[in-house]
Structure 1
Amino acid sequence: MARVLMVVLITLAMTGCASKVVTDYNSSVVFGNYSSWAFAPDAGSASFISLDGNRVRKAVEREFTRKAMRKVDVPEADLLVNWRIVEQERLEQSGLGLGFGFGTGNFGWGLSTPPPVREVTEGKLVVELADQSSEEVVWRAASRRYLNESQSPETRRKLIDEVVAEMFKKYPPGLEGK
């Protein structure tokens, strides 16, 4: 029993330490050469900016300001920022199944019903930075945490702020923890 408890505690500790975002980047790029940025004309890829879109834009602007990067018009930008919320469907079990059984000795019968299942739509935030001159993505971050339709506006704002802040802790690459 003590071993099982220890394994559970270690697993929980490791899960808590796991990064909530993943990043990728072009290792041949000198990120110190970038000093200005703008949102790509198709950032968010919608005909209008959604409520979450406004939250993402504000969070990205805040993080670039912290990095001392200047926001400029698209033609003058070194980096173009694109972002999107990728929707994913998953099944979620809620509650517990019910069951009963009977038996004697080494033999018994049981009957149970599975817990109710419902389909949940979630959104994963992806942010990409593209070099304006080469039009190639040079840095990408994706969230491992999800937005879902049952979250309150305040919860959504806090989650977006936290995720974007964690993404930009890893920008520019190689400076994490410094």
Structure 2
Amino acid sequence: MRVILVSLLMLALAGCASNVVTDYDSGTVFGNYASWAFAPKGEGENFTSLDGGRIESAVERELNRKSMRKVEQNEADLLVAWQIVEEERLERTGVGLGFGFGSGNFGWGLSSAPPIREIEEGKLVVELVDTDTDRVVWRAASRRYLNENQSSESRRKLIDEVVADMFEKYPPGV
């Protein structure tokens, strides 16, 4: 009985695990920040991708909820930098096993695993940079991934959920 109770407790705790990991500079007074802007694009980046537009809209919505003002880059207290970090994962389905009966005979079969396939996924990382010190003061990384098989609507929904989870933990300690 104890084993069952412990197992159920562990399962419940695993279900409560966060989909976002955050880190911050503990010496920073986050109450001093009132304005923000997006960090300039990297060299060679002249456009915003579809996912980039979704991310920027979600970040803007969440910072507005925190009563922070979006201003020009040279007037901002914080710069928001984001990136989608690409990761590759190997996926294999498994081995099939079957049993059967027919006209007095017994038979069985075993199939080998199909080829392993690579899946490219991307996790979202958002950083807030203090414009006076040019140092990252807060960082959030998603444990949920975007992949190439998701529809536009599911990508938008996932990005909205992940960014909301991220900024739920900003400012830290609140």
Does the residue aligned with 1:150 lie in a helix, a strand or coil? Answer: coil
Moved more, 14-23 or 60-69: 14-23
Q: Any stretches of 5+ residues in structure 2 without a counterpart?
A: 100-108
**In the alignment, what sits opposite 2:62?**
63
Q: Which moved more, 1:162-171 or 1:11-20?
A: 11-20
- The answer as to 2:107 corresponding to 1:134 is no
Residue pair 1:98, 1:115 contacting (<8 A) in 2 also: no
Name the CA shift for 1:164/1:93 in 2 (closer, same or farther; >3 Å): same
User: Any conservation in 1 of the 2:39–2:73 contact (CA below 8 Å)?
Assistant: yes
Aligned position for 1:162: 161
1:53-132 maps to which residues of 2 (within 5 A)?
53-94=52-93, 96-99=94-97, 112-132=111-131
SS across alignment from 2:28: coil
Offset of residue 166 of structure 1: 0.6
Displaced runs of 4 or more, over 4 A: 2-8
CA contact (8 A) 1:20 1:163 kept: yes
8 Å contact from structure 2 (residues 95, 110) kept in 1: no
What SS is found at the alignment partner of 1:145?
A: coil
Identity %: 65
Secondary structure of residue in 2 paired with 1:68: coil
Aligned residues: 164
Contact kept, 8 Å, 2:20 with 2:165, in 1: the verdict is yes
Structure 1 length normalisation: TM-score? 0.84
Aligned-pair CA distance for 1:111: 5.7
Alpha-carbon distance between aligned partners in 2 of 1:58 and 1:168, rounded to the nearest angstrom? 13
The two structures have a TM-score, normalised by structure 2, of 0.85
Does the Cα contact within 8 Å between 2:59 and 2:163 map onto a contact in 1?
A: yes
* 1:87-108 superposed Cα distances (whole Å, 9 cap, x missing partner): 00001123x412469xxxxxxx
Q: What is the rounded CA distance, in whole Å, between the counterparts of 1:131 and 1:85 in structure 2?
A: 21
Give the Cα separation in 2 of the matches to 1:4 and 1:117.
Answer: 36
* Root mean square deviation of aligned Cα: 2.2
